[in-house]
């Protein structure tokens, strides 16, 4: 080991990353070192492929790939939560190297034959279920990365993979830069009418942090959404809306500066070419091979069926909104920048409820502690903070999960607040997964990241109920990763789980955000500690399915657009991406945005986030989660026997069991859509 490598905090991380010591200068040397070492080890594995066993072949390959993941995970995470020009350059320079390495592995014939040998040997039958699944997955993935292609096609397939890794990152970077590039500074208090005090306090604090006088509003959701909901100034709402929906496009205030239009076309073209190289008719067909869904048509049928069920309800909701807006708000024609504002006013009128009403009852520390208590009651676990852990921002916290015997099951970082140079949205990612060897069990470690409103002054951060739901959602992903009992990384936690089942544990956790017993743990007034008043809770629950038809249609629009983009659409043809989106809207939507809306240019889920031909999985997972939770509705939301069954059959099995089999083991039957329709108020 070189002295340089020995002093690099990214090299051979034994426990947790030393985030405060990592600089951009460490990235390339560490990645190059590990890639070189891994390639040497792959050469050694090729030499034993003809006599491959689990111990001399598969496990060593798992280990070297985990070594690379341990080096790259902190870099990738810092790029998402603490972006800088210097780090970005190093990150982007490494992407083609990593893509080339994984492409070489995927097309390595000797490794492929080594896996085939084990599959066909007597040893295979003696392996554990998880080991067999890793081998089966590997053989599938070898074929899906072109191992059986002739050399010329292999070369082209590899070129496509490398180019896509660059394009995906560039797409995401453009969305981040476009979001950060624009803000609205208000200096006249008259322009702030309608905005709640909490929103104004945060906007004033943002202005001060940027050496400005007045109130600063940005395109980050915690700033953008409240402005659109409450600001009475219609012209300013229009400015905010236009800046938001034209991000990273050829339209809007930064027209062309961060434009993703050409990248979308190139990404779609390369995905289609990749699929055709493997003799699939579309990228969607290729994408669905490792998923639960049988075919693109089955997905489309599922989405269209839900669309038909929701559309009549959505039409009624829209007519109600139009009538209310005309009579009560003097808005005869609802424009796109009026929708959220008018809907919030209608919800207040119908239910005497607003998200701002409950915000004082959800201080962030109380919410976290309550969420941990919910998990404790369900699964018999204890979650405690750990102090003194090296983090990337002073507001990041670190926790560990222990079982009833005091054994650590998982550890996780929590990064909750919006800030500059941090990617928008909310997500869970992993640092390491559980594995077991002769020496010890490796504790899984996760990153839990959100973008909530920042604490203002001496007040704690106060969450809306929607933000509470988001936190529960992401922690559900984290529990799926951390509570696994699988001892092999390839199918440990979320690894190896079919993409259209991976949202089950996250959407499942959201259900407790609506139950009185759970909310009494999660909620408490930030000044007095008083529980959420029963009348306010009832208002919130009555408002739960407000505009559920419109909301469902919006998600179905995204999912149908995604599936049609990747099945039956010719990216090089005469029809544009925008024209396809318009067709989907005519078929599905009841509300149509302005011509300049460029939603697709910031649709990072499918162009940068792994959901290509898979966005439908959110809706499919809602079916699974609603049906799974219905068992708790029958037996009690904290029924320990049911909770332990979900832990054992879903969370602990990771990717070692097919998701339908895991669901049936828990629920006793295959999933039904009824519970979702009931929860959404769409039964009729």
User: What is the set of active-site residues?
Assistant: 474
Give the residue carrying structure tokens 């009651």. Answer: 377
Angle between helices 617-635 and 659-667 (to 10 degrees): 20
As to burial, measured by CB atoms within 10 angstroms (0-12 exposed, 13-18 middle, 19+ buried), residue 7 is exposed
- Kindly provide the b/e burial profile for residues 51-62, where b requires at least 16 CB atoms within 10 angstroms of the residue's own CB: ebebeebbbbbb
Taking alpha carbons only, the member of 9, 662, 47, 20 closest to residue 392 is: 20
Contact 80, 393 (CB under 8 A): no
As to burial, measured by CB atoms within 10 angstroms (0-12 exposed, 13-18 middle, 19+ buried), residue 425 is middle
Classify 26 in phi/psi space as left (phi over 0), alpha (psi -120 to 50) or beta.
Answer: alpha
Q: Please name the residues in contact with 267: beta carbons below 8 A apart, sequence gap of 6 or more.
A: 164, 167, 168, 171, 607
Contact 197, 187 (CB under 8 A): no
Going by the DSSP 8-state scheme, the letter that residue 634 receives in this structure is H
Q: Between the CA of residue 395 and those of 392, 401, 416, what are the distances in Å?
A: 9, 20, 8
Q: Please name the residues in contact with 424: beta carbons below 8 A apart, sequence gap of 6 or more.
A: 175, 176, 179, 220, 221, 418, 451
Q: Between the CA of residue 503 and those of 284, 467, 584, what are the distances in Å?
A: 19, 17, 24
> How big is the CA angle at 635 (ends 633 and 637), to the nearest 5 degrees?
55
Q: Please name the residues in contact with 350: beta carbons below 8 A apart, sequence gap of 6 or more.
A: 543, 546
Q: Cα separation of 150 and 138, whole Å?
A: 20
Taking alpha carbons only, the member of 240, 253, 180, 186 closest to residue 216 is: 186
Q: In 427-525, which ranges are E strands? A: 427-432, 435-436, 441-442, 445-452
Six-digit token string for 437? 């060897």
Give the residue carrying structure tokens 């919910």. Answer: 374
Contact 655, 497 (CB under 8 A): yes
Taking alpha carbons only, the member of 141, 147, 120, 17 closest to residue 75 is: 17
Contact 244, 594 (CB under 8 A): no
Angle between helices 109-119 and 24-47 (to 10 degrees): 60
Contact 223, 185 (CB under 8 A): no
């Amino acid at each position: 080991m070189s002295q340089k490598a020995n002093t690099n905090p990214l090299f051979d991380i034994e426990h947790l990353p030393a985030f405060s010591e990592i600089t951009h200068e460490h990235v390339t040397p560490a990645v190059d070192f590990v890639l070189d070492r891994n390639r040497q080890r792959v050469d050694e594995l090729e030499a034993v492929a003809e006599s491959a066993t689990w111990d001399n072949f598969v496990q060593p390959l798992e280990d070297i790939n985990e070594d690379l993941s341990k080096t790259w995970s902190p870099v990738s995470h810092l790029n998402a939560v603490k972006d800088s020009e210097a780090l970005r350059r190093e990150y982007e320079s490494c992407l083609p190297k990593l893509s080339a390495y994984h492409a070489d592995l995927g097309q390595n014939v000797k490794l492929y034959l080594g896996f085939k040998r084990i599959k066909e040997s007597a040893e295979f039958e003696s392996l554990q279920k998880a080991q067999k699944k890793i081998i089966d997955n590997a053989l599938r993935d070898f074929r899906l990365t072109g191992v059986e292609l002739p050399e010329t096609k292999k070369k082209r397939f590899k070129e496509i993979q490398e180019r896509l890794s660059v394009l995906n990152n560039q797409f995401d970077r453009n969305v981040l830069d476009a979001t950060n590039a624009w803000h609205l500074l208000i200096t006249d208090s008259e322009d702030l009418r309608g905005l709640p005090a909490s929103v104004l306090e945060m906007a004033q604090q943002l202005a001060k942090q940027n050496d400005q006088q007045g109130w600063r509003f940005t395109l980050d959701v915690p700033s953008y959404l409240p402005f659109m909901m409450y600001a009475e100034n219609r012209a300013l709402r229009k400015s905010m809306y236009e800046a938001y929906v034209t991000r990273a496009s050829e339209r809007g205030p930064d027209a062309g500066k961060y434009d993703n239009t050409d990248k979308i076309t190139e990404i779609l073209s390369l995905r289609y070419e990749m699929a055709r190289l493997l003799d699939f008719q579309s990228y969607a067909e290729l994408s669905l091979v490792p998923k639960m869904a049988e075919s693109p048509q089955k997905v489309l049928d599922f989405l269209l069926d839900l669309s038909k069920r929701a559309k009549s309800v959505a039409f009624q909701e829209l007519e109600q909104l139009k009538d209310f807006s005309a009579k009560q708000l003097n808005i005869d024609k609802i424009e796109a920048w009026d929708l959220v504002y008018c809907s919030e006013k209608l919800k207040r009128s119908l239910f005497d409820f607003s998200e701002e009403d409950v915000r004082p009852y959800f201080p962030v520390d109380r919410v976290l502690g309550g969420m941990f208590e919910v998990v404790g009651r369900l699964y018999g676990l204890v979650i405690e903070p750990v102090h003194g852990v090296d983090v990337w921002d002073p507001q990041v916290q670190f926790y560990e999960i222990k079982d009833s015997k005091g054994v650590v099951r998982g550890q996780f970082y929590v990064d909750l607040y919006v800030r500059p140079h941090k990617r928008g949205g909310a997500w869970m990612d992993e640092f390491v997964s559980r594995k077991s060897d002769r020496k010890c069990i490796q504790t899984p470690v996760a990153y839990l990241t959100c973008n909530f409103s920042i604490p203002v002054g001496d007040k704690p951060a106060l969450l809306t109920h929607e933000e509470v739901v988001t936190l529960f959602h992401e922690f559900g992903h984290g529990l799926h990763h951390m509570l696994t009992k699988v001892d092999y990384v390839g199918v440990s936690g979320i690894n190896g789980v079919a993409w259209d089942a991976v949202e089950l544990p996250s959407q499942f956790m959201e259900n407790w955000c609506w139950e009185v017993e759970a909310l009494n743990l999660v909620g408490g007034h930030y000044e007095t500690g008083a529980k959420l008043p029963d009348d306010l809770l009832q208002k919130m629950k009555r408002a739960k399915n407000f505009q559920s038809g419109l909301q469902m249609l919006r998600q179905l629009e995204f999912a149908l657009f995604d599936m049609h983009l990747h099945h039956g659409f010719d990216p090089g043809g005469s029809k544009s991406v925008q024209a396809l989106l318009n067709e989907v809207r005519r078929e599905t939507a009841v509300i149509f945005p302005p011509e300049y809306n460029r939603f697709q240019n910031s649709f990072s889920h499918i162009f940068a986030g792994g959901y290509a031909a898979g966005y439908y999985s959110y809706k499919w997972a809602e079916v699974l989660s609603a049906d799974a939770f219905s068992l708790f509705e029958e037996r009690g939301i904290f029924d320990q026997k049911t909770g332990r069954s979900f832990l054992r059959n879903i969370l602990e099995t990771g990717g070692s069991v097919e998701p339908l089999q895991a669901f049936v083991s828990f629920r006793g039957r295959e999933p039904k859509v009824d519970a979702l329709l009931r929860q959404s108020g769409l039964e009729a």
